[in-house]
Amino acid sequence: MKAARKKKIRVLLCKPSLDMHSRGIMVIARSLRDAGMEVVYLEASPEVGAREIVQTQMQEAADVIGMSILSGSPMVIVSKLIAERDKHGLQDVPVVVGGIVADEEVEELKKIGVAAVFHPGTPLNEMIQTVRDLAGG
């Protein structure tokens, strides 16, 4: 029998600064909360960048970072986040990406360290289970 997890899984959800569509990420946040996880949502603003996301992760001790991308430039945005995460020695904190990501970019994102990519229409229970698995819960 698997030992029970001692603390709730904490997930940091964020959006790049120019990506103002928030309905999808709010649905994900609510679904993760309903599944018993704690969710920290970093709202989009011009000041929010990779450094601020990683600083928030360190302050909040998030187990997983989730980024919503609808702007069409995931490689540029996510590569900065991965580089900043790695600069702080946080390679054990998985990063997942959801939103509009071209199929050919999925493998490139995984090569740079993204743990999972969710396209629009991915079942919520699949996302929840992936986050649980990545967080060790």
Residue 95 pLDDT > 80, yes or no? yes
Q: Please, what are the domains in the chain?
A: 10-135 (3.40.50.280)
**pLDDT tens-digit profile of 103-117?**
889 999 999 999 999
What is the pTM assigned to this prediction?
A: 0.90
Give the position of tokens 């790049």. 16
